[in-house]
Amino acid sequence: MAIKLPGRLPEIDLPLALAALGLVVVGLLMVYSATSLPGAHEGLWSKQLMWAFVALGAAWLVAAIDHRVYDSLAWPLYGVALLMLVAVLVFGSSAYGAKRWLDIGPIKFQPSELAKIATVLVLARRFDDPKVKLHRFAQWLPAMIIAFLPFALVLKEPDLGTALSFPVILIAMLYWGGMPLRQLVLGLTPVMNAGLFFFTGSGLWFGGLFVGLVVLLRPRWPALVALVLLNGAVSIATPHVWSHLHDYQKRRIETFLNPGDDPYGSGYQIIQSKIAMGSGGIAGKGYLKGSQKALAFLPMRHTDFIYSVVGEELGLIGTLTVVILYALLVLRGLRLAVVSRNRFASLVAVGIVTALFYHIMVNMLMTIGWAPVTGLPLPLISYGGTALIVNGIEIGLLQNVALRRHEF
């Protein structure tokens, strides 16, 4: 006689849950170590432990509710998120010259995090609609607007790092939603065009790339004409705009695009981070034994630069373990998107995974000095209440997909 157990615990994706849990534990250990020196941040690890429990609760709750509820909640949530982003620009509290936070009573809240989840849900809902045919150019437009609004508002804060996560999520979800890769690449050419010009200062690079792409991907005639016209306009406009800027305006744009270029601030942090990581070697200096000399002046060693503490104390073994845990998390998340029978859920999984992956990449590449300092924390590891809870919600959404992967 078989007893059917109620509850859905066995249905969750166990590797994903364990990877997430492992990362949170690594985070707690490292926050403890990074704040163990006598000084301002002493004892933060106990707060982080509390946040970790809150995040676990949030994940549980989010996983338990049927995702159809999120489907219908997507638009209201998106509206609220946009309103809050506007509120940040108006009443937000600023730090390091940017307005990113809303003070709600005792807690500080970063609405751009909520906006990310809301955007994923809205895009998933839209692409789930069978009437939306993503190989049709005209139907990209609403999706682009959906991603553009939070992008622009977050960019205004200014927070380039977080803002860019919106177009990245959009691209991944467009692709997953069924837009042919070919169209996606060709559609992105105007962005590549302007970007390459700013980086190389010459239109030739893009010219070569464009010819190569056209030969390789062979767009149809009407599309080709439209692309040539569009890129022609961009090619003419970009240098024109650039040369009409004053030196100081150019300088401001350059600092904006690449804040690490400012050696006084973030360049210093990168150097310190590299010394910490490099001196850790393969085995590290040992837990709690990091001299942290190099990090002594790094005010964000328990938040944005927590990965350098990992590198210093636990060495390559520690850093690669973290990489493997993240890879496990992301790849399991992608697998959920493949196996889920519900198209909405599948799209949500891809959006969430992309957001996580983007954050992981930007932070890790920053700590090893290969990406600009943008102020993005390391998901699940860095100290910070909002970020940890939002990460919890994201893991909860992935588990939600896992729980109902056989449902339509």
Partner 1 sequence: MQHSPQVRQSRQEHARVLQGVVLLGFGLVALGLMRLQVAQHVQYLELSKENHVRLEVLRAPRGAIFDRNGQLLADSAPSFNVVYRPFPAESLALRRLVRSDAWTRRVARALMADTAEVRRLVAGAGSGGQTVVLRRNAPFEVRAAVEETREELQGIEVVVEPLRRYAHGTLAAHLLGYAGEINDVELDSLGSQGYRPGDLIGRSGVERSYEEMLRGQDGAEFVVVNAAGQRVSTLTEGPPRLPTAGHDLILTVDLAVQQALEQAMADVQRGAAVALDPRDGSVLAMVSRPAFDPNEFSVGISFTRWRELTAGGENPLLNRAIQGMYPPGSTFKVVTMLSALENHVASPQTRLQPCFGRYQFGARSFMCWKHEGHGSLDFIGAIEHSCDVYFYQIGPRLGLDHLEETAKALGLGERTGIDLPQEKKGLIPSEAWYDRRWGAGKMPKGTLLNLAIGQGEILVTPIQLAMMLAEVAVDGQPSRPHVVREVRGVAHPKHDKQGRSRLEASAEAWSAVHEGLERVVATGTGTAAKVPGVRVAGKTGTAQNPHGKDHALFVCYAPAENPTIAISVVVENSGHGGSIAAPMARVALAELFLPDSLKHAVAARVPARAAADTSGGVSGD
**Footprint of partner 1 on 211-240 (CB under 8 A):** none
Hey, how many other C-beta atoms are within 10 angstroms of the C-beta on 317? 14
Report whether the peptide linkage leading into residue 158 is cis, meaning its omega lies within 30 degrees of zero.
yes
Q: Is 205 in the site for partner 1 (CB under 8 A)?
A: no
With binding defined as CB under 8 A, does residue 267 bind partner 1?
yes
Q: Which of residues 346-385 bind partner 1 (CB under 8 A)?
A: 346, 350, 357, 361, 364-365, 368-370
Q: Could you tell me the smallest distance in angstroms from the CB atom of residue 124 to partner 1?
A: 15
* Choices 23-31, 43-51, 113-121, 314-322; region in contact with partner 1 by CB under 8 A: 314-322
Question: Which of 80, 214, 226, 275 touches partner 1 by CB under 8 A?
Answer: 275
Rounded to whole angstroms, how far apart are CA atoms 268 and 274? Answer: 10
Q: Given candidates 77, 86, 167, 255, which one binds partner 1 under the rule CB under 8 A?
A: 255
Structure tokens at 112: 């751009």
Q: Would you say 232 and 258 are in contact if contact means Cβ atoms under 8 Å apart?
A: no
Contacts (CB under 8 A) with partner 1, residues 37-66: 37-40
Q: Alpha-carbon distance 387 to 100, whole Å?
A: 13
CB of 262 to partner 1, least distance (A): 6
Of positions 292, 374, 386, 399, contacts partner 1 by CB under 8 A = 292
Closest C-alpha among 151, 156, 155, 152 to residue 170: 151
Question: Does the footprint of partner 1 cover residue 296 (CB under 8 A)?
Answer: yes
Of residues 397, 381, 360, the one with CA closest to residue 310: 381
- Rounded Cα distance, 279 and 111, in Å: 37
Nearest to 198 by CA among 165, 238, 164, 167: 238
Place of tokens 């490292």: 30
Among 280, 377, 379, 385, binds partner 1 (CB under 8 A): 280
Tell me which stretch binds partner 1 (CB under 8 A): 56-64, 74-82, 194-202, 260-268.
260-268
Region near partner 1 per CB under 8 A, out of 18-26, 140-148, 215-223, 265-273: 265-273
Position among 182, 264, 304, 390 found at the interface with partner 1 (CB under 8 A): 264
- Rounded distance between C-alpha atoms, residue 372 and residue 266, angstroms: 8
Tokens of 187: 């559609």
- Contacts of residue 324, defined as CB under 8 A and 6 or more positions apart, other chains included, come to none
Subset of residues 134 to 163 that bind partner 1, contact rule: CB under 8 A: 158
Binding string to partner 1 for residues 73 to 112, with x set by CB under 8 A, is what? Answer: ---------------------x-xxx--------------
Q: How far is the CB of 29 from partner 1 (least distance, A)?
A: 19
Residue with token string 């992967």: 405
Token readout for 328 is 């496990």
